[in-house]
Each structure stands twice: as structure tokens, then as C-alpha cells.
Structure 1
Amino acid sequence: MSSAAAPAALCTPACVTRSAPEVPPGELARRYAALAYEIGVSVAQGERLAEPRALRTRARGILGALGVRLEAGPERLTVTGARPGSPGTLIVANHISWLDVVSLLAVEPVTVLAKREVGRWPVVGGLARRAGSQFIDRDGLRQLPRVVAELASTLRSGRSVLVFPQATTWCSVAGGRFRRATFQAAADAGAPVRPVTIRYYRHGVRSTTAAFLGDETFGASLHRVARARELAVRVTPHAPLRGSDRRELAAAAQAAVGAHEMPAHV
């Protein structure tokens, strides 16, 4: 089902690659045990999990438990302000998988603007809530002005926010256009926009194994990721953007994120 706020992706679970060899049953069991341990530690940390260092550690622990290698440079996602009191950064990324949130929190814990369902997902939901995430009903057009105003206020306070402007998951970087609404918040707050590209690889080759698509359940997607051998996620930040026109910001951000990519569907 789609709406103006919640577009329907053309990608389905049939887009997922399945030809690469999987880990043996013993390794799969070990990964699930390691994941259970990481979740247990997260729960035990309680409010301390909200601390950036703790949140980053747990996010990286979850990736490690699932056998996912994080490839990210030392560059921060937040753009350092030139003066005290500078606004935070609107971080915008393409959306392929539930792993996107974990991967970006593993690079730099920031506030996440996500659909309400994310807060109920196992593994991801707890991390997102501890990061101070703001959850929205993506089918509710009426709340968009309020969401944009709250997002602008958050940016003005100096906090950085991660959003997925495609509004739903796609099997490749180039799928779906960037919705403009959240870019208005950056324009209103005078905040820089940081485009970020997320790509997944197996054995050094681009892969859709991690994609979370269509009517697939979280459990089925998690199981496919846990079984995957040599799965890596690459997080690539691009030069920050500034401007007052949300259309221009959205177009420039999408061009940066999807540079040199073929469309998911023609």
C-alpha cells in the first residue's frame, strides 16, 4: 500500500540475491548466541545505553555478532560548526535495510527520524529508542508540518538527525526519489545536509542480501543476514550541502548519494 507519504517500492523479496554460499549451521548458531548476548548487554545497560560511546559500541557489537563487517572511514557524519551554537547536521542516506540504522549508529550515534514500526522491531528498535529517535506515522500527511517544525527545532539545538528521504527500503542505492519535506527543516534551521551512501557487499561484490523488502518479516530478513558469509556494509559520507531551497537540497543530496549508480528498476 502506498500514499503520498509512504511510497510503494518496486523492489520485492525476489530482488534479493541468494547464490552466494551460506555459513554452516554451527556458525549460524554461534551468531545467534552472540546476538542474544549483545541484546542482553544492551538491556542491562539501561539508561547508560543512551551515551554515545555505549551506543556505538553496542551497534558495532550487533554487526559483529551477525558477521557483518563495517567499512567506514574516520570522517564524522556531523558537520563541525564554525562557531559555538551552530545547528546540527541533517544526515540523509539511502535506505536498503533495517541494518542501515545499526550501521550508521555504529559510525556516529545521532537522533534518528524513522517510521513508527522501527521502534517495535527487535534489535533495531531498542538501539533507535536509546539514540533519542523520533518516530512518525509515515501514512499521516497531516503531521508532516509538525514533524518538520520539530526536526528544525532539534537541528537548531545543535543535535544531528538521520533521516531516510526515500521513505521506504529499496534493493539498490538508486531506488526511489528523495522526498523533500525533511529538507525544509534543514533550510529553516540553517543546518548543513550531509548525504551518505550505504552499500552492501559479499565477497567484494555488490549484494542485495541485506535488503528488507515488500511484505517480508523482520525475522526472515534477520535470518538471511545471519546466514550470509562475508557480508560487509560500506558507509560513505559526501561533501555537506547548504541552501534554502528544499527542492535543490533534495536533488543535490540524491545526486550525491546515487552517483555512478544504475537505477533499481527502469
Structure 2
Amino acid sequence: MTPWAVEPVCTPACAKNAASGVPLPAAVRRYASVAGTVIHSAATGERLGDPDILRAEAGAVLTALGIRLDLEQDAGPEQDVGPGWDQEQRQGQDQKSLTVPGRTGTLVVANHISWLDVVVLLAIEPVTLLAKREVGTWPVIGTLARRIGTRFIDRGGLRELPSTVAELARMLRSGQSVMVFPQGTTWCSVPGGTFRRAMFQAAVDAGAPVRPVTIDYFQQGVPSTVAGFLGDEGFATSLRRVVGSRELSVRVTTHRPLTGGDRRSLAAGAQRAVSGSRAPAHA
């Protein structure tokens, strides 16, 4: 097993509605709205790479699906794990932003539950995505992913690891922010699996801050796993479940940036911030 690959533990059986589904006519309207939004996004061509356009298109997808987005900030204590972040950056930070103002880009790290995670984060602030190579082959989504500059990796290819870390470090040094999911696969709830350390080395090499982000899904205010995209489930099955969900919302919590230290301490600090006091999803 490579430093970023992990065998999935959650299965599609973990994804369940926490509320009754919407009536069939409402689901049909959502399908039509989503289709129209995707067609519109595809029609924008290369302009989809523009951050303002991308943010608007991602938000339109959430609206079409009937999903409410709530953005919060962690008001907890400082999470810095070491020296290296200057006072000017501290004073200029915006906790509700995914990126941190400064000389470099930001490594944004989040727990991974669903394909929706990417749409949600892009609706807040577009950044470059690091995704598994298979995403690039998906119908429509793969094309859109390539247009917005997604970097694809072979999670089973150990030989690619040094070059991928070096490329991420170069991007961060140039001021480009990158989003990764260090749990390595999707899980039904926030704690999931251990954060893999490999991609944190890029932040160490570039002297870039790490922004931990927590993604939670709810239905009628109750934690829900309905959005989970788990195991070997097909995209169409997951989409059908999301389209039929009632009062689905997503809460994104941004945490204080981490900087300094080595990749081990950065990965551990990010996981503590993201998971908080929640118990592990699986033993």
C-alpha cells in the first residue's frame, strides 16, 4: 500500500437517509435542474477556470440539488504546530476563507465523505484540486475537472510520489493553493481514517500554511450519511440518493492554519482539528 492509498472500510450500506425522501416530482425537477446546470458549466468552456465563474457554477449545482451551505469558523485555541509563520500573515488571515494570505499558496486539507465535498469547497473558494486519476475518466465530471486545472494522481503508484510532492511544493511556492483529502478514500462520517502524511511534505518543503477544514452533512439538523460516496458504489446511484434527500445541508468549518514542524506533526495537527472530539467512525 502506498503512502496515500488506503483500502475503503465504509460500504454503500453506510449511506442512509436521516429523513424521508422528497416526492418523485420534486426529485425529477432536481434532476432537470442539475442537468441544466452541468450543461451550462460545460458551455462556459475554458472560462470555467475563472475563479468567480467556477465559484458561481459550483454554487448553482448545490442550489439545483436543494443543498444549503453553512460556513463556520473554529473559534478554538491556536493550532500552530511550530514556528515559521510571520506576524503579518497572522494579522491578515481570514478564518472563513480556505486560503491564507501570504507569500505562498495554502495546502487545504479536509475529511472526505462524498463527491459533493469538491463542489462544496469550490463554491466557497476555488483552489486547485488533487484527485485520483479515475476521476478524469468520469463522463462530464472528468471533462469539467480537467478544465478547472485538476491534478490527477495514481494512488497506487509509489514511484510517482516524489514527483507529485515536488510538483505540489512548486505550486505552493508560486502562490497557488491546493486542496487534498489526506484520508485517502471516502468515509461515512468526519473522523474516518488516519491522515496520510505524504502530501504534507509539500507544505513543509514550500514553507506553506496548512488549512484544516471539516465537512459535515445534515438532514433536518440531524447528522446524516446520505451524501456518502462509498466503496465501489456508482456515481449514478449516489446522485440518485442525494437528489431524493430531504433538507440536506452541509456545514463547512474552517480551522486555524498550521505551519512549521514536520509532515508527521502537521498531519496529526490537521486531523485533530478536523475531527475534534468525535469518536472514530470505525474501529
TM-score (norm 1): 0.94
Residue 253 of structure 2: SS of its match in structure 1?
Answer: strand
| Residue number in structure 2 paired with 1:102 | 119
Task: Give matches, 1:225-240, under 5 Å.
Answer: 225-240=242-257
Instruction: Tell me, yes or no, if structure 1 residue 132 matches structure 2 residue 149.
Output: yes
Give the counterpart of 2:207 among 175, 190, 203: 190
Residue 175 of structure 1: SS of its match in structure 2?
Answer: coil
Query: 1:78-122: per-residue Cα shift (whole Å, max 9, x none)?
Result: 0011xxxx1100000000000000000000000001101122334
| Residue number in structure 1 paired with 2:101 | 80
Mapped contact 1:38–1:61 kept (Cα < 8 A):
yes
CA distance in 2 between counterparts of 1:99 and 1:126 reads 17
Instruction: Tell me, yes or no, if structure 1 residue 144 matches structure 2 residue 144.
Output: no
Q: Which amino acid aligns with 1:226?
A: V
Mapped contact 2:112–2:190 kept (Cα < 8 A):
yes
Structure 1, unaligned runs of 5 or more: none
Tell me which stretches of 4 or more aligned residues in structure 1 moved more than 6 Å.
none
Superposed displacement of residue 14, structure 1: 1.3
Give the counterpart of 1:202 among 219, 225, 228: 219
Provide closer, same or farther for how the CA distance between residues 118 and 28 of structure 1 changes in structure 2, counting only shifts above 3 A: same
Residue 119 of structure 2: SS of its match in structure 1?
Answer: helix
Q: Which amino acid aligns with 1:58?
A: E
Mapped contact 1:90–1:155 kept (Cα < 8 A):
yes
Superposed displacement of residue 8, structure 1: 1.1
Superposed displacement of residue 40, structure 1: 1.1
| Residue number in structure 2 paired with 1:58 | 57
Q: Root-mean-square deviation (CA), in Å? A: 1.4
Instruction: Tell me, yes or no, if structure 1 residue 40 matches structure 2 residue 39.
Output: yes
Provide closer, same or farther for how the CA distance between residues 123 and 106 of structure 1 changes in structure 2, counting only shifts above 3 A: farther
| Residue number in structure 2 paired with 1:212 | 229
CA distance in 2 between counterparts of 1:123 and 1:69 reads 24
Mapped contact 2:2–2:157 kept (Cα < 8 A):
no
Give the counterpart of 2:189 among 162, 166, 172: 172
Superposed displacement of residue 9, structure 1: 2.2
Residue 255 of structure 1: SS of its match in structure 2?
Answer: helix
Residue 135 of structure 2: SS of its match in structure 1?
Answer: helix
Aligned residues: 261
Residue 186 of structure 1: SS of its match in structure 2?
Answer: helix
Mapped contact 1:69–1:233 kept (Cα < 8 A):
yes
Structure 2, unaligned runs of 5 or more: 73-94
CA distance in 1 between counterparts of 2:140 and 2:183 reads 22
* Percent of aligned pairs sharing the same letter: 62
Provide closer, same or farther for how the CA distance between residues 221 and 176 of structure 1 changes in structure 2, counting only shifts above 3 A: same
Provide closer, same or farther for how the CA distance between residues 236 and 121 of structure 1 changes in structure 2, counting only shifts above 3 A: farther
| Residue number in structure 1 paired with 2:10 | 11
CA distance in 1 between counterparts of 2:206 and 2:3 reads 25
Mapped contact 1:110–1:131 kept (Cα < 8 A):
no
Q: Which amino acid aligns with 2:48?
A: L
Superposed displacement of residue 16, structure 1: 1.5
Residue 136 of structure 2: SS of its match in structure 1?
Answer: helix
Mapped contact 2:128–2:176 kept (Cα < 8 A):
yes
